[in-house]
Each structure stands twice: as structure tokens, then as C-alpha cells.
Amino acid sequence: MVLVEQGAEQLYTDHLHPFLLRHQARLDQVVDVVYGEMSKSVIAHQVEFQLARSLRMNILVTSNQMVRNIILPVRREPNCIEGPKRLQVQDSESDEE
């Protein structure tokens, strides 16, 4: 009598292991064909993978900057041609001379 705890071991020993031994050569061939086709596909689409990676990185950087600006807003000077305005304090005595 098989204990409940040994059910998986019994299934493997009685059914799965003999099946794998009988069909090992055929399974190896299938794995080799699938591996070869996947390798060809990856090589053929390498440019698309690089483009997708670049787009993903651009999206991540942009979203990171947007979230940072929302969480920690930074006060910035407005863009202008002349540059930032500088306050000039004149001495009242120098105006009279």
C-alpha cells in the first residue's frame, strides 16, 4: 500500500520515468529543433530588441523624472534670452554725485 505522502514518487517511478526513458531520443530532437529556431529568431530580430530596450529605457528615465518633479518640485528660473535678472541696489549718495 502506498502512503499519501509518497504519491508523487510513485507516479514518477511507475509512469513518468519509463515514459521519459522510452522517448528520450525524440524529446532531445524536439528540444534541439526548438532551441535552434529560437536562436535564429533572436539573431534575426536583434535590431528590434535593441530598439525596444532603448525605448523602454527612455520611458523609464522620463517617468522617473516626472515622478521626481511631482514628489520633489524644484523651483526654476524662467527661460529667457537675457539670462536671469539680477537686482542692482544703487547707493543714494552715488546718484547725487
Domain assignment present for residue 87? The answer is no
| Mean pLDDT value of segment 64-87 | 75
What pLDDT, on the 0 to 100 scale, is given for residue 37? 98
Residue 81 dihedral angles phi and psi, to the nearest 5°: -70, -40
Could you tell me the end-to-end alpha-carbon distance of the chain, in angstroms, rounded to an integer? 116
Question: pLDDT digits over 30-48, tens only?
Answer: 999 999 999 999 999 999 9
Q: Dihedral sign, CA of 90, 95, 96, 97? A: positive
Question: pLDDT digits over 3-13, tens only?
Answer: 777 888 999 99
- Say how many domains are in the chain: 1
Domain assignment present for residue 20? The answer is yes
Separation between Cα atoms, residue 56 and residue 34, nearest integer Å:
28
Supply the pTM of this predicted model: 0.46
Residue numbers of the domain that contains 14: 10-66
Domain assignment present for residue 91? The answer is no
Domain assignment present for residue 3? The answer is no
Domain assignment present for residue 4? The answer is no
What pLDDT, on the 0 to 100 scale, is given for residue 55? 97
**What would the grid cell of residue 51 be?**
530598439
Q: Dihedral sign, CA of 81, 85, 90, 96? A: positive
